[in-house]
Amino acid sequence: MFFLFFLIWIIFNGQFTWEIAAFGVAVSALIYWFTCKFLGYSPRTDILFFKKMFRVLQYVFVLIKEIIKANFAVIRMITSSRYEIEPAVVRFKTNLKTTPARILLANSITLTPGTITVLQEGDEYMVHCLDKSLAEGIDSSVFVSMLEKMERMDQDR
């Protein structure tokens, strides 16, 4: 939060000099102290925020990587004359406890080419896969493990 206050100070000043920066550090520290003292904020909240943002960015990069991998797998399936495509509908349950994590998992599955989340009720999912090979390990995918880690971070608060 301190860095956000300092960044706002610099932006509102419209220029950067060492005097403005020094005064901005003092003002930002004062506002940060006030926020911690009277609004129930703490440096621990900042640390948890940055850890969570790191996990979210990591999740986005893994999602992009999985989308690219699935694109190539689907292209291989479609263009190969030797490969017999066998669609499958898979049901599985997860240990995800929060609604946002469950919805994020359903959307991540749908964004990955070759799979569509048909139904999500509570912790149960029904996923249509273009081929049964795409269904292998879907219940213990990298998405599930990363979302479980994010949920544990929220519980540690």
Domain of residue 53, CATH code: 3.30.70
Same domain for 7 and 61: no
Q: So what's the pLDDT on residue 57?
A: 92
Same domain for 32 and 56: no
Take residue 142 and report the two structure tokens written for it.
Answer: 């990298």
Same domain for 56 and 85: yes
Same domain for 53 and 27: no
Estimate to the nearest angstrom the gap between the alpha carbon of 120 and the chain centroid: 19
Domain that holds residue 109: 43-155
The residue-averaged pLDDT of 115-129 equals: 92
pLDDT at 157 over 70: no
Q: So what's the pLDDT on residue 45?
A: 78
pLDDT confidence bin for 106, thresholds 50/70/90: very high
Beta bridge partners of 119: 126
How is the chain split among helix, strand and coil, in percent rounded to 5? 65, 10, 20
- 28-39 per-position pLDDT tens digit: 999 989 988 888
pLDDT at 83 over 80: no
Same domain for 59 and 34: no
Q: So what's the pLDDT on residue 155?
A: 66
Domain count for the chain, please give it.
2
Same domain for 140 and 77: yes
Same domain for 20 and 87: no
Take residue 133 and report the two structure tokens written for it.
Answer: 């090979």
Same domain for 57 and 28: no
Contact between 74 and 117 (Cβ < 8 Å): no
Contact between 66 and 109 (Cβ < 8 Å): no
Same domain for 55 and 29: no
pTM of this prediction?
Answer: 0.71
Q: Which region among 23-32, 37-46, 94-103, 117-126 has the lowest average model confidence (pLDDT)?
A: 37-46
